[in-house]
Structure 1
Amino acid sequence: MKITKSIPFKHGITLAVILLIGLGCVVKKDRKTTETLKEAFEGKFHIGAALSANHINNQGQASMEVLNTHFNSIVAENNMKSGMIQIREGEFNFDVADKFIEYGEANDMHIVGHTLIWHSQAPRWFFTDSDGNTVSPEVLAQRMKDHIHTVVGRYKGKVKGWDVVNEAILDDGSWRKSKFYEILGEDFMKLAFQFAHEADPEAELYYNDFSMAQPGKREGVVKMVKNLQAQGVKIDGIGMQGHIGLEHPKIQEFEKSILAYSELGVTVMITELDLSVLPSPRRDMGAEISTNIEYQQSLNPYTEGLPEDVQKQFDERYLAFFKLFLDHHDKISRVTLWGINDGDSWKNGWPVRGRTDYPLLFNRDNTPKSIVKDLIELAAKY
């Protein structure tokens, strides 16, 4: 008869402890193997980047390897805007936009379309007739419909969601007096969303704007969205542009806006995220693209790199914002950086041309900043 020796009780405890410690080590090791941003934020929100025409047309460059390694969502920085796609009425140029979509599909990216209606880069013909006179509301509405149906229809089923209207509310909550507003009034917003829904009923539809943590703008956007919802207009999400600085906006106000927008029953997205370390010519000036400040050396202090104390502020600020995003990841579907590396960023030329800024997560040579590791470790705690 085979005799099986039992393990003494105290030895059994020892063995169990050893096994638990071993399992703990395995789990800890698995966490350490998470080396990319998209792995770190998986199950929480998409992590995205904006692509310029340079990225799209030169897909072999090193920054695209960074994109594929760390990001799972893309948006075209400029090349899907109306002024780029339809320079003259009825003449569409989809060359770069098609390449952008093809790249996204080939690399299994979550694709966002940006933007269908925006006052700043709309072609002039949109608002005038052949004699240069302002068109009627009926003509503008038809032009909007033709543009949106053509663009959204072309990429139906390929684009996950569209920034339908961009930057239509001012910081005080009032409507921007754009040509769209002057000709059609508030109805231009409703029409834009209706036309986009007609063109692709399955696509998500978003409103996108800067300075979205401003109390006045928060109230104005909430009022505008509630008005759309009351009319039965489909709107799925709100994009909070994340053009932030070392001191502005206040994180508490940013959080208030996340909560206010999510309470509308829509998803919240952090869009166009970058963190400028450079001094601002004016306090909390938002991201009005038409602003242009004369170059001054005092506004460009870090041409040879960041001092240690500024780098520390940069890291702490990014960590604080991502902690906020993670705290509310049940309300946030996407966080998108406005570029891949520092050299891509529009902040090098806005609001002062010729400056050297460091607003993104990867250096100009595409190496990750130390903050990337910190963000990955932060995400592991959630």
Structure 2
Amino acid sequence: MSKYILYTGLLAIVAYLVACTPAKKVEEVPTLKDAYAGKFYIGAALDSVQIKGKDTAAMRVVKEQFNAIVPENCMKSENIQPQKGVFDFMLPDKFVEFGEQNGMFVTGHTLIWHSQTPPWLFVDSLGNDISREEMIARMKTHIQTVVGRYKGRIKGWDVVNEAILDDGSYRQSKFYQIVGEDFIRLAFEFAHEADPDAELYYNDYSMANPEKRDGVVAMVKKLQQEGVRIDGIGMQAHIGLTQPDINEFEKSIEAFSALGVKVMITELDLTLLPFPDQNVGAEVSASFDYQQKMDPYTDGLPDSVNVQFEQRYLDFFKLFLKHQDVISRVTQWGVNDTQSWRNYWPIEGRTDYPLLFDRDNNPKPVVAKIIELTRSPL
């Protein structure tokens, strides 16, 4: 037998063995949205650059990792109706279209909020406060124009945002001063009339505070007794390494779900920077002067701080999984660390690391650990 024939035969045998050997299955790395499918939606807030499609790297992350979106700013009243009767739907339209094209649960944020309102909203042509009747009419026009435009497309709305103070009392906003506490009921009724099938939510920060918890529970019970449709309560989770107390946070999940409504974890981020005043919660009007000592991680995080960061996120996701029967959505406030408002609030120009994706849009190591939680008994 010639060497050529022998060599050819050996090649044929090797080829046969390779063909008959089952190929090793390459295990795909699961995404956040896949890992938590059937438990709750995993969402992210989008800023204007992302909605316009300019931040392509961030939008790739959104498509891969998230199945729910909320707009960070473009639907707030100062942006969507900057002048009376003049609506700007350019960015909101793009936002909703992106969600639809990618099969996402789309939430609108926010219809009634005391902050980021246009100058004209509360005053007449002379700069005086408008009447109660006029305020109600303006609320109705704004809510029904915005909700009506996206009827059947936006699945849930943050109808009223941050109407209760940390002590459980009503915030003395211009809405409250002009209309009274009825402005909350009216806002929900106007939204329901505009889209009877949309879910309607109340959203607020510092929701682990016992006094605030009691105030929100009392408010929602009153709305329910009045026959108002309210489907969920959003717990803004602007957390730190030590605040809020996670046990109090859990008590609020339980108290809100006992009202028969869904609970959503909204605006989730974890600041690692020192906080100048623990009493301001997430009050956007708070502002403090820059000091170098309040910005300690400009060159990156020490390993010891990163360990705390990971453990804190894991503790909260364990809690969310424990209550997955009542939690419908967990949404981080932003996509990556560069975008986060934590870099400029309550002190402008700091470097924070609050989200699950870094400044290069890469998942932080904790993401894999958060995914792993879904595979392990709690």
Q: Identify whether the pair has TM-score above 0.5, normalized to the shorter chain.
A: yes
Give the Cα separation in 2 of the matches to 1:54 and 1:273: 20
1:278 is the counterpart of 2:273: yes
Equivalent of residue 371 in structure 1, options 366, 369, 372: 366
C-alpha deviations, 1:302-321, integer Å up to 9, x for none?
A: 00110000000000000000
C-alpha deviations, 1:163-201, integer Å up to 9, x for none?
A: 000000000000000000001111000000000000000
TM-aligned CA deviation for residue 122 of structure 1:
1.5
Q: Report if the CA contact (8 A) 1:79-1:85 is conserved.
A: yes
Q: Which residue matches 2:283?
A: 288
Mind listing any 5+ residue stretches in structure 1 that lack a counterpart?
1-25
The Cα RMSD (Å) is 1.3
Equivalent of residue 341 in structure 1, options 336, 340, 345: 336
Alignment length, in residue pairs?
354
Q: Secondary structure at the match of 2:283?
A: coil
Equivalent of residue 109 in structure 1, options 92, 101, 104: 104
TM-aligned CA deviation for residue 335 of structure 1:
0.2
Q: Secondary structure at the match of 1:336?
A: strand
Q: Report if the CA contact (8 A) 1:269-1:335 is conserved.
A: yes
TM-aligned CA deviation for residue 350 of structure 1:
0.3
Q: Which residue matches 1:44?
A: 39
TM-aligned CA deviation for residue 131 of structure 1:
1.1
Q: Report if the CA contact (8 A) 1:249-1:284 is conserved.
A: no
Paired residues for 1:230-245 under 5 Å: 230-245=225-240
Give the Cα separation in 1 of the matches to 2:58 and 2:28: 22
Paired residues for 1:162-181 under 5 Å: 162-181=157-176
Runs of 4+ aligned residues of structure 1 deviating over 3 Å after TM superposition are: none
TM-aligned CA deviation for residue 33 of structure 1:
3.7
Give the Cα separation in 1 of the matches to 2:49 and 2:209: 33
Q: Report if the CA contact (8 A) 2:110-2:159 is conserved.
A: yes
Q: Which residue matches 2:221?
A: 226
Paired residues for 1:1-382 under 5 Å: 33-59=28-54, 61-283=56-278, 285-381=280-376
TM-aligned CA deviation for residue 133 of structure 1:
1.1
Mind listing any 5+ residue stretches in structure 2 that lack a counterpart?
1-23
C-alpha deviations, 1:280-321, integer Å up to 9, x for none?
A: 112253100000010000100000110000000000000000
Q: Identity of counterpart residues, as a percentage?
A: 63
Q: Report if the CA contact (8 A) 2:205-2:282 is conserved.
A: yes
C-alpha deviations, 1:333-375, integer Å up to 9, x for none?
A: 0000000110010000000000000000011001110000000
TM-aligned CA deviation for residue 61 of structure 1:
1.3
Report the TM-score, using the length of structure 1 for normalisation: 0.91
Give the Cα separation in 2 of the matches to 1:299 and 1:330: 39
Q: Secondary structure at the match of 1:89?
A: coil
Report the TM-score, using the length of structure 2 for normalisation: 0.92
Equivalent position amino acid for 1:280 in 2: F
